[in-house]
């Protein structure tokens, strides 16, 4: 074991460390069935989008607008950008400002679906931040409410992970997601469904935390329903509990996937995946994962909330320090390479190029000194 991180030594193979904390599978199965969740459902899909406890405006109170497929409506729907469990997002033209926007509409015209859509719009609209998609307006027509949002082009973090992008790129993404999440917490809102598929990277490098459909307010204890995505969720979320440390876990689980290419929780189906989330086995990171980063991920995804980073900003600060330390580590690698060349020259002084030796010595010393300056510890 590593004395610094408590993780397996460099010879260990990455993977979950078995635990004896097996939940009662039959009780868990009954809980899932009571929530309308089946074992055949996708563990990477979100659930828990029940009716919000917070009051939402009646549809009749929303300003009317004309949404059409072609023609001269206020918003001209073009084509579908994406579909979720409860809503469809369209690309549209806003005639008044001659601009592209995204229009989100519920699949069903029922009052419950409308309330859920408005709940998400109100939560998102109150979180004005560069890493959260702006809501321009909420309107209604004969088919019900529609949320008008900024149109974003790009790809999901999930897609970026599939391209095997370098670690530095993933660190840039997660640090910006941390900013969005920390801001939401400062406004009293938990996201509860942070995952790479809910993070969009724009065409110009901008990063957005999307899908606030299962978000809730920190002071709202009226719901203890399961909510989130089983492959990523913190163990207390299986029991219907969550606080800011649950979002810390979700951030850690998302970066875990970017680093390892694997989901934090695995199972043959929904039941086994939820059971794995409840058990939350410790993960043994492979040697190629930097030890400091492995320690950060292990702490962020600790089973007990008290053992995690207590705020998103604490996690962000740890990741920033790791990124600074990577620069120091790179300098040390360079210094050691120069030192090996210097040692090779020293083994045969008669044939040594003393000008080259002096240059190597200077470069070696400079690199080590710079590394100490970047990382004094």
Q: Mind telling me the catalytic residues? A: 193
Contacts of 182 (CB under 8 A, 6+ apart): 311, 312, 313, 316
Evaluate whether 254 touches 184 at the Cβ level (below 8 Å).
Answer: no
Evaluate whether 196 touches 264 at the Cβ level (below 8 Å).
Answer: no
Nearest to residue 65, comparing CAs of 80, 55, 81, 77?
A: 77
Question: 371 vs 330, 362, 364, CA distance in Å?
Answer: 8, 14, 11
Evaluate whether 75 touches 94 at the Cβ level (below 8 Å).
Answer: yes
Q: Could you please report the per-residue DSSP string of 156-186? A: EHHHHHHTT--HHHHHHHHHHHHHHHHHHHH
Secondary structure class of 356 (helix, strand, coil): helix
SS3 content of the chain, % helix, strand, coil (to 5): 40, 15, 40
């Amino acid at each position: 074991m590593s004395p610094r991180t408590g993780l397996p030594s460099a010879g260990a193979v990455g993977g979950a460390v078995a635990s004896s904390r097996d939940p009662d599978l039959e009780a868990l199965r009954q809980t899932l069935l009571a929530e309308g969740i089946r074992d055949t459902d996708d563990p990477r899909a979100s659930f828990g989008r029940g009716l919000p406890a917070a009051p939402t405006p009646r549809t009749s109170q929303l300003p009317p607008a004309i949404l059409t497929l072609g023609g001269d409506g206020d918003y001209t729907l073009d084509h579908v950008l994406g579909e979720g469990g409860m809503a469809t997002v369209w690309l549209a033209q806003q005639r008044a400002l001659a601009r592209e926007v995204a229009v989100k509409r519920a699949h069903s015209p029922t009052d419950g679906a409308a309330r859920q859509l408005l709940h998400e719009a109100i939560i998102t609209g109150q979180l004005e931040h560069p890493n959260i998609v702006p809501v321009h307006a909420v309107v209604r027509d004969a088919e019900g409410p529609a949320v008008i949002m900024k149109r974003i082009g790009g790809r999901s973090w999930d897609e970026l992970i599939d391209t095997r992008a370098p670690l530095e790129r993933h660190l840039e993404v997660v640090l910006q997601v941390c900013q969005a999440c920390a801001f939401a917490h400062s406004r009293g809102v938990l996201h509860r469904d942070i995952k790479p598929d809910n993070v969009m990277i724009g065409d110009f490098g901008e990063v957005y935390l999307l899908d606030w459909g299962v978000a809730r307010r920190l002071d709202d204890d009226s719901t203890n329903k399961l909510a989130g995505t089983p492959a990523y969720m913190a163990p207390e979320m299986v029991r219907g509990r969550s606080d800011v440390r649950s979002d810390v876990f979700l951030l850690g689980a998302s970066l875990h996937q970017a680093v390892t290419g694997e989901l934090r929780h695995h199972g043959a189906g929904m039941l086994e995946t939820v059971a794995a989330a409840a058990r939350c086995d410790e993960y043994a990171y492979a040697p190629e994962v930097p030890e400091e980063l492995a320690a950060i991920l292990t702490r962020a995804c600790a089973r007990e909330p008290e053992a995690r980073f207590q705020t998103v900003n604490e996690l962000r600060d740890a990741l920033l320090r790791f990124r600074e330390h990577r620069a120091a580590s790179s300098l040390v690698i360079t210094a050691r390479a120069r030192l090996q060349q210097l040692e090779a020259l020293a083994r045969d002084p008669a044939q040594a190029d003393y000008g080259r030796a002096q240059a190597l010595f200077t470069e070696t010393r400079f690199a080590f000194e710079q590394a100490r300056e970047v990382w004094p510890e």
